[in-house]
Structure 1
Amino acid sequence: MDGTVLIADDDRTIRTVLTQALTRAGCRVHATGSLAQLSKWVEEGRGDLVITDVMMPDGNGIDRIPAIREARPDLPVIVISAQNTIVTAIRATEAEAFEYLPKPFDLPDLMAKANQALSRRPRKSDPMPDPLPVPREAADPAMPLIGHAPSMQALFRMVARVLNADLPVIIAGEAGVGKTTIARSFHELSDRRDRGLAVLTSSDAGEDAIARAADKARGGTIVIENPAGFDASAQARLIGLIEAMESGPDRAQAPRVVATTGADPQSDVAGGRLRSDLYYRLAGVTVSVPPLRARVDDILPLAAHLLARAAAQGLPERMLSDEAASLLRAHPFPGNVRELENMMRRLALTASGAAISLSEMREALTQQTGHRAPPPTPSSASGPAPQAPEPTGQPSLPQAGSRLSDSVEAHLQRYFDLHGDALPPPGLYDRILREVERPLLQVALDATGGNQLRCADLLGINRNTLRKKLTELNIEVTRRRKLM
């Protein structure tokens, strides 16, 4: 790797780690904690690559990209940020950053992106992006689209890439993960935001209602919630509407169609609940939203955000005690983000002090599930932890001499107990197999240092099969553990 890299980050540790890594790779490095100094270096003609944080003491790194591109059109910019929101990903994409990586980032991944940026052919001219309007920064959706988990960051990057494409979108996921919020973000953060937005549900899908929605959303966006829940005649009307919009005389003003579905829309097709010809008209792009239990490290940041928003809406200011945070983090959240949101609003209203206590959290979880909440795990609420594959929360280590099947049986029994007299949602067999498969692959990859050939040999499966499963499960592979 050859070239001069300009680093702007107010965290001295990150500057040191990046400087050492890039220097060892053969680069020359200038590092600063100031955007003003970065701008000065750029104007002086220094640097072949910029790596910048977003939130800096003297400004916003993404906001500086247009000025950098005006001064040096061929200078690539890699954005790194702890502001792990969908808006950050979209803004970085629209500003035409070379790459956006959330903190904490994988150092080998960043080094690979830096090598690509330094090796690419310079662009002779790049169009200046339009400045982003203020309302995007101030957007406060019903459920916050924040998350550092790799699956959420992959989702954010996918949304950013297809935000303004003229393609229909399916947003798939379990109930409560925020599908409707993401669907609305395709409108509110896109070039169509000044046009109409209409939402169609199965309860109001008559011929007149569909026609009114199409008229209201002219040039804007139509959101179809759970098309598998529409009856056969309503699905036929939706097909007719989409065909008319695609080929009619007003197709230039046709609204974009965004649909929300369950986690596996193809099973709805196979089961006859969703017409296959409607599904293929909707599935231009499919975005899968992970359940909250698959991104455990996002639970506490989401809870803090929801408590802060409740306070901004007039409820008392609250925070989580360490003990309450540990207990919350171990909860399986079958209701996903919606369940967390309702719980935080209730605790903001009912807690007796500024800090939500362990007993108050235990009582809230008991009311939520109908069963006494288990004690928190001894691990720190803020410390690192693996993703939670098991739908019953963080599993404890098995006792010496116990069989794996005994531990699995105990966790499955607890999962059934959490539903009281009701049964878990249908599809349990495939769901459990998927959630056992993910940690098996992750642990095996970690044990083999990210070497996929060794991992496939360890598991006794074909390397192509392993790659296919890693893609399906959105498991990112790196050769080293995360350093920063």
Structure 2
Amino acid sequence: MGGNILIADDDAAIRTVLSQALSRAGYEVRTTGTAATLWRWVQAGDGDLVITDVVMPDDNAFELLPRMKKLRPELPIIVMSAQNTFMTAIKASERGAYDYLPKPFDLRELVAIVGRAMNEPKIRDKLAAPADLEGMPLVGRSPAMQEIYRALARLMQTDLTVMITGESGTGKELVARALHDYGKRKKGPFVAINMAAIPRDLIESELFGHEKGAFTGANQRSAGRFEQAEGGSLFLDEIGDMPMEAQTRLLRVLQQGEYTTVGGRTPIKTNVRIIAATNKDLRALIQHGLFREDLFFRLNVVPLRLPPLRERGEDIPDLVQHFFAVAASEGLPLKHIEAAALERMKRYRWPGNIRELENLVRRLAALYPQEVISEPLVDTELSADSSPLLPGFVQQHISEERGGREGDDRGTSLASAVERHLSDLFKAHAEGLPPPGLYHRVLRELEYPLISAVLAATRGNQIKAAELLGLNRNTLRKKVRDLDIRLMRSPQ
């Protein structure tokens, strides 16, 4: 292959391994343990490619990267880091790195990346203005998440259409927002629409807007989501639930870059980035005539699969810490968790994925007075998930009531259990007052098992469930969506 490679890493073992692997691949290699030496080599015009660690004893590669790219914009730079976060990948991309590799890395993959970099055109215009890096939109250091970070870093400065797939609760909208917030359209609006949450006969109006008098009740012109997202990004969530008529109109937009409002005649040019998401198998829908194949290929330009939580169990400690911190920022007591409790979480299957984990952490923060969350508490909550009737904290108090007040029906009532728990919670909080937002949190925890139980009893028949619950059907649909309740399909 040929070519000279400069390697900078303060770990001598890593320098040796990389030097041997790349030398065997036919490259000339020079190594150093300091950023100063690397910078001196680059200034002298040495090297056809740079491989550098982020944290060096005398400097940070993210500070050195812009200087190297300004001096030699054609020089490919591969960044390595043990700080395997989403923001590390983003910083590497924004500062002009050719690629980012988390440690530990696969040697064969690194050699392959070096080969591509050495054979691609040298001029790469990937520099962008630094983004606001406060906060971390995505959490996790697992290999599965590292692949997501690297893919996102490559996509940030493009307008390519992205199709995000993954089970419910895996964070598809969070990824879509990251693509927008750290991309070239970040100054424009981010507009999201959930196809499953809108009546099918209103989807076209929601997407493309309508003119006054276009249909009964259209008393004035209304802007659609495409118009609202102009210059920014449009996130089409649950795209598999889009009706065929709307699919046809969406395909025209993707093909011609223009649309007409419902009831309108004048084509309107559009400039938006499309990000779609689904938890369904679109290829199976295509086979059953429920999704257009040509639209699928227009949307599936860059497929991005989000792993379920059960495939990234090593991320659970980071996620739990993150969600506890978020809960504390909202006024809940800051909690800590035992290692055994984390291990119990890792053994759980998490059918609701990250959303289920977040709900659990919020529940533990809001409803238990203990400062340190133990394994028995976590086990109580996770075991309660298999029961559709009562959340874990209620079951725990009912069990206590039964043990201490045999024969007293009031002791096992739901109202009694909640009343006793809230009394304990108030005593544990400052000045004997409840934490902020308690009403909605407790209501949410009670609504989830109630609605889940009724839907299970009606085998997913929402019309029947709404009737039994005494709710409007649209209200029930909104609660199902907001609570992320997994529906059982009604028998055909």
Kindly report which structure 2 residues correspond to 1:310-325, keeping only aligned pairs within 5 A, or say none: 310-325=327-342
What is the letter of the counterpart of residue 357 of structure 1? S
Q: Deviations over 1:291-345 (max 9, x none)?
A: 1212233333333333334344443333432211211111111111111222222
| 2-structure distance, mates of 1:233, 1:126 | 42
Q: Does 1:223 align with 2:235?
A: yes
Kindly report which structure 2 residues correspond to 1:78-117, keeping only aligned pairs within 5 A, or say none: 78-114=78-114
After superposing the two structures, state which structure 1 stretch, 190-199 or 298-307, moved more.
298-307
Partner of 2:385, secondary structure, is helix
Kindly report which structure 2 residues correspond to 1:237-276, keeping only aligned pairs within 5 A, or say none: 237-239=249-251, 241-242=253-254, 245-246=257-258, 253-276=270-293
Q: Give yes or no for contact 2:159–2:273 (8 Å, CA) kept in 1.
A: yes
What is the letter of the counterpart of residue 105 of structure 2? F
Residue 254 (structure 1) shift: 1.9
Residue 250 (structure 1) shift: 8.0
- In structure 2, do the counterparts of structure 1 residues 128 and 192 end up closer, same or farther at CA, with 3 Å as the change threshold? closer
* Structure 2 counterpart of 1:356: 373
Alignment equivalent of 1:175, drawn from 146, 149, 168: 168
Partner of 2:75, secondary structure, is coil
| 2-structure distance, mates of 1:364, 1:55 | 41
Partner of 1:370, secondary structure, is coil
| 1-structure distance, mates of 2:325, 2:191 | 30
Q: Give yes or no for contact 1:22–1:29 (8 Å, CA) kept in 2.
A: no
- In structure 2, do the counterparts of structure 1 residues 311 and 282 end up closer, same or farther at CA, with 3 Å as the change threshold? same
Residue 264 (structure 1) shift: 1.6
Kindly report which structure 2 residues correspond to 1:26-425, keeping only aligned pairs within 5 A, or say none: 27-32=28-33, 34-56=34-56, 60-114=60-114, 120=119, 123=122, 127=125, 129-133=127-131, 135=132, 137-141=133-137, 144-149=138-143, 151-202=144-195, 203-204=197-198, 205-210=202-207, 211=209, 212-239=224-251, 241-242=253-254, 245-246=257-258, 253-350=270-367, 352-370=369-387
| 2-structure distance, mates of 1:247, 1:231 | 17
Q: Deviations over 1:59-95 (max 9, x none)?
A: 5423422211223344331111233334433443344
Q: Deviations over 1:153-197 (max 9, x none)?
A: 333333333444444322111101111111222222221111122
Residue 46 (structure 1) shift: 4.7
Q: Deviations over 1:183-242 (max 9, x none)?
A: 222222221111122222233444442222111111211111113323444445544554
| 1-structure distance, mates of 2:182, 2:9 | 27
Partner of 1:369, secondary structure, is coil
- In structure 2, do the counterparts of structure 1 residues 310 and 18 end up closer, same or farther at CA, with 3 Å as the change threshold? farther
What is the letter of the counterpart of residue 217 of structure 1? A
| 2-structure distance, mates of 1:164, 1:128 | 8
Aligned residues: 372
Residue 24 (structure 1) shift: 7.4
What is the letter of the counterpart of residue 229 of structure 2? A
Q: Give yes or no for contact 1:76–1:98 (8 Å, CA) kept in 2.
A: yes
- In structure 2, do the counterparts of structure 1 residues 21 and 127 end up closer, same or farther at CA, with 3 Å as the change threshold? closer
Residue 287 (structure 1) shift: 1.8
Q: Give yes or no for contact 1:195–1:220 (8 Å, CA) kept in 2.
A: yes
Residue 115 (structure 1) shift: 5.7
After superposing the two structures, state which structure 1 stretch, 103-112 or 234-243, moved more.
234-243
- In structure 2, do the counterparts of structure 1 residues 250 and 154 end up closer, same or farther at CA, with 3 Å as the change threshold? farther
Q: Give yes or no for contact 2:6–2:47 (8 Å, CA) kept in 1.
A: yes
Q: Give yes or no for contact 1:62–1:79 (8 Å, CA) kept in 2.
A: no
| 1-structure distance, mates of 2:334, 2:59 | 28
Unaligned regions of 5+ residues in structure 1, if any? 374-418, 427-484
Q: Give yes or no for contact 1:263–1:288 (8 Å, CA) kept in 2.
A: no
| 2-structure distance, mates of 1:43, 1:275 | 55
* Structure 2 counterpart of 1:464: none
Unaligned regions of 5+ residues in structure 2, if any? 210-223, 261-265, 393-451, 461-492
In the superposition, the TM-score normalised over structure 2's length comes to 0.64
Larger Rg belongs to? 2
Q: CA RMSD in A?
A: 3.8
Q: Give yes or no for contact 2:258–2:270 (8 Å, CA) kept in 1.
A: no
Residue 246 (structure 1) shift: 4.4
